[in-house]
Amino acid sequence: MPLKKGKGTKMYNTARVKFKHFNDQYGHLVPIESCVDTPFTVKRVYYIFGVEPTMSRGHHAHRRLHQVLICLNGSLKIKLKTPDEEEIVELKNPAEGLYLGPMIWREMFDFSEGAILLVLASDSFNEDDYIRNYDFYLQEAKRFF
Ligand code: T46
């Protein structure tokens, strides 16, 4: 995916993704098809829940991974950073996702009671793809952006 300014967000390599949403008297249904509703082939799915409101997670960036984050229940906030930009995005709509491309620093916080964060990822888990030290991140990201 090319490096570009986000749709619905302010930062490069990030975007809000609106999914199709079927809503009738029986309830809600949101279908997500790999490559159709996501800007990459989905190879891995994981979810995060049971996070205390005072805890934060993330504090890293990915070198190559593309992801879409969807808050299925409750709400949470994500602080996004690049060397020159910073933005806080709230996720609370299960019919909407947040695309995060490579080299975006992320910190998830302010999880509400019962918050569930579903993540669709473009690749298998690979610890070598993580940059977990913010100073190392800044060095690599300055060359990237
Ligand atoms: C991200 C944010 C949004 C695995 O073994 N397989 C996996 O697929 C994942 C995602 C994690 N793990 C292990 C690695 C750690 O020992 O689970 C443990 C917790 O992972 P981590 O501390 O990286 O979790 P978060 O919430 O800080 O970050 C996660 C994802 O790792 C990351 O890719 O972008 O959610």
In this prediction the pTM is 0.96
**pLDDT > 60? residue 3:** no
Q: Which of 28, 59, 60, 62 is catalytic?
A: 60
Binding site membership of 72 for ligand 1 (Cβ less than 6 Å)? no
109 CB within 6 A, ligand 1: no
At 108-127, the pLDDT tens digits run 999 999 999 999 999 999 99
Strand boundaries in the chain, DSSP class E: 14-18, 22-24, 27-29, 44-49, 57-62, 67-73, 76-81, 86-91, 96-100, 105-109, 116-121, 130-131
